[in-house]
Amino acid sequence: MIWRASIPVTCLLTLVVAVAPASNRTGEPGCRVKITDPRAGQEVAGRISVKGTASRSPGTYLWIFLRRWDFEPLWWPQGEALWDEEKQAWRGFATLGKRVDVGWEFDLMVAGVGPEEHLRLTDYMTRGMETGRFRPNPLPSALCASAPLRVMKGSK
């Protein structure tokens, strides 16, 4: 009787292990990203340096996104962050609107995307540089993302 009762439990445990993501089964760290600079609530200039830490898998590209808070749910891609593997850190830049946006709050976010989204975002940036037209978009499908961080555009 004990043997018969343990079969469903064994099958269930086997199913859970088989369905778990590969990164959880092998102990590899997942994709995590955090913004460390600027700080939430900070008054910032129109073009700012954005920095943070991350752990990511090969083939994950970190991109910086920005929006004025009232443009939710759309974001402007700011560019791919430069990755420092040794320090597990990244850095990049963001441009907070125009002069008329002084005093407005902006949300920053960094997302880890796969190769397909990376190519789409790279094409967006290339077309924008060629035409001067950068339209906001929904946030792309991300493997991981930082929590949004709100800053205020100052007059600098």
pLDDT of residue 10 exceeding 80, the answer is no
Q: What is the pLDDT of residues 67-112, one digit of tens each?
A: 999 999 999 999 999 999 999 999 999 999 999 999 999 999 999 9
Cβ count within 10 A of residue 60: 20
pTM, full prediction: 0.79
Give the pLDDT of residue 155: 86
CA–CA distance, 150 with 82 (Å, rounded to integer): 22
Question: Residue 34 is inside which H or E element, if any?
Answer: strand 32-37
CA dist 134 to 75, 86, 118, 125, Å?
Answer: 10, 33, 17, 8
